[in-house]
Each structure stands twice: as structure tokens, then as C-alpha cells.
Amino acid sequence: MRQLRYKRYAMLCSLLSVIWLTSGLAGANESLSGKPESEPLKPHGAVSEAKPQGKGASQARMGTAHKVAGVVHLPVTLVGKDGAPMVLVAAGEFTMGSPQGDDDEQPVHRVLLDSFYLDTFEVTNGRFAKFVAAIQSEPPWGFADQDTPVLHAEQPVRWVTWLEAQSYCLWAGKRLPTEAEWEKAARGTDGRTYPWGQEPPTPAHAVFGLKEGAETVAPIGDREKGLSPYGVHDLAGNLYEWVTDWYDDAFYTPQPTVNPRGPAEGTTKVQRGGSYINSPYRLRAAFRTKGDPTEHDPHVGFRCAQDAPPLPDAGRADRP
């Protein structure tokens, strides 16, 4: 049964990937699959860094960029095709890695990213249930009964494999974030240790240091003090999050600097953010760990990302 389930999601993921690519959603990333440029490039779609957005911030569906006083801007928030709110992470450089962390967090290096959107919250049981119904698949292991996505609709979905997470994002017209995108969304451009700053975590910042059990997983957006610089919730604690990259403990050594997308192949996928059972050390924005992409884990969830639309020539950062 498990092998059949794996093959089904692998086939679905492949099919959705083809649709995603041919529809143009991945067009902005096609040039990134090759070797990074030796000199830093200016990103497309550059805008000023976004201010943090609260849970009740206004949202707009993806549309054309708006122009104010001759400057073209991307919308700071939007709503994805799955109904989930998303926030803009503006193009620019940030510091990736930590000199105080594990060996795989070093060397510390500067990375340049294009603008992108990230889900404000982790994907919930309620949203994932709609995906399961739409593709007529078996629910994740975490749905022990039919009541789970109803009674705990606002809790982040867990027990999902990397393939299931990727399939959901593609189904929603999105993708999993890269490891670099995830870290920038979590720590911003000032090199902070945690999404909220340098202050050690407390129960008001994140869900961590608890025992096993479904009752220890908090609903999304339940820790307002834990907001990232861009207004993203729950990037520390509650659940680890899958990202798209294969894991390599030496990947930072070559120091890819422009839109890094991880190794070309591997055996495990990167997980970020720490979970409800972890100590503050694993809640750091630079902390890296890994997991088998076919395994179900009660400590792992995910959120989706989406490319920012190309700006008109007047708004391109690489134009005078």
C-alpha cells in the first residue's frame, strides 16, 4: 500500500510539473538550472523591502503591478489559487548561514534572490483535505479519521511526504520554496538569529520544547510575536517545513550566490524551522536538517511559494 501510494504521488508530481512548466509558471526559473554566474546579477522584479504584515493585513489577488509616482511596485500581499494568503519577499541580497551554527551552515555567504511570494501560513489540514478530495487520493497518515480536517482544520497538516507537499503546491499553481528563499523569508536582510530578531524564543514566539502528541501542534498564526520581517507566521517551531532542495552538508562551500536551487541530485530533502519538540537551537533561521522525501513524519509540514510576476521594463532593477 505504501509503495502504491508513493508511485501515485510521484506520477502526479511529474504530471503537475509538466503542466506547471508549460503554463509559464516556472518561466522565470528556467534559466536558474545552470551554473550560477560568477558575478552577482541584479534580480528581476526588484522592489523595496516589504514591511511586516499582520494576520489581518489586506490581500489582493495576483494582477498587474501598480505604479505610484512613476515607480512600478508589486503587490505586497496576494491570495493564491488555493485561497491561502501570501506575502511578497522583495528582491535583493541577504546573509545565509551562521558562524555559530553547525558545519553545514558554513561558510556564511551573501545570496541574491529575485522577488517571490510565500504563503503567510503553513498549509492546513482544511486546505490539504480539499486537495485530497480534488485528486481523489488517500489522505495523509495524520488524518486518522474523517474528523481531523474538520475539527483541526486550522492546524498545519503533517505526516506529509515531500512528494505530497510538492504535489499540493503544484496543484495550487505554486511550488515549494527553495532553501535560500525560506531562509531569507525567515531572517530578512539584517542577519537575525530568529524570525523575530535576536531574543531567545518564549512560548509567545513559537511552539517548541513540548512532548509528542497532536494536542501540542498549534493552529496557524497562533504566535503573533514570532512574525518574520515580512510578516510570515510560524517559521520557527510548531512543524519543520519541507523545501525543494536536495540536502548536501557541503553545498555552502562553493557559495552559490544567485538564486541557488540546491544540488542537482541527492537522497534526502532539506527541512527547515524546527518543530514543537525541539530546543531553541533548532528554531534558528539558519538551522538545516533533512528527511527522506518518501517518509511520513509527524513533525514536518510545509508551505508554498510562487514566483513574482515580471515587472514592466520601467520597473526592472537591471534597467537604468
208-246 pLDDT per residue, tens: 999 876 567 899 999 999 999 999 999 999 999 999 999
Contact 308, 229 (CB under 8 A): no
Does residue 119 surpass a pLDDT of 80?
A: yes
Mean pLDDT, all residues of the chain = 82
Torsion sign across C-alpha atoms 49, 127, 297, 26 = negative
**Span between the terminal Cα atoms of the chain, in Å:** 58
Q: pLDDT class for 73, splitting at 50, 70, 90?
A: confident
Q: What pLDDT does residue 54 have?
A: 43
3-class secondary structure, 31: helix
The strand pairing partners of 119, in sequence order, are: 86
In percent, how much of the chain has pLDDT > 90? 65
Grid coordinates belonging to 219: 493552529
Q: What pLDDT does residue 129 have?
A: 93
Q: What pLDDT does residue 67 have?
A: 56
Does residue 90 surpass a pLDDT of 70?
A: yes
Q: What pLDDT does residue 141 have?
A: 73
| pTM recorded for the entire structure | 0.80
Instruction: Write the pLDDT tens digit of every residue in 265-283.
Output: 999 999 999 999 999 999 9
Q: pLDDT class for 256, splitting at 50, 70, 90?
A: confident
Does residue 66 surpass a pLDDT of 60?
A: no
What secondary structure letter does DSSP report for 280? G
Torsion sign across C-alpha atoms 237, 239, 243, 247 = positive
* Strands 240-246 and 300-301, bridge-based pairing: parallel
Provide mean pLDDT across the span 31-46. Answer: 38
Q: pLDDT class for 305, splitting at 50, 70, 90?
A: very high
Provide mean pLDDT across the span 41-56. Answer: 44
Instruction: Write the pLDDT tens digit of every residue in 128-160.
Output: 999 999 998 888 777 766 777 888 899 999 999
Q: What pLDDT does residue 11 have?
A: 54
Grid coordinates belonging to 88: 511578497
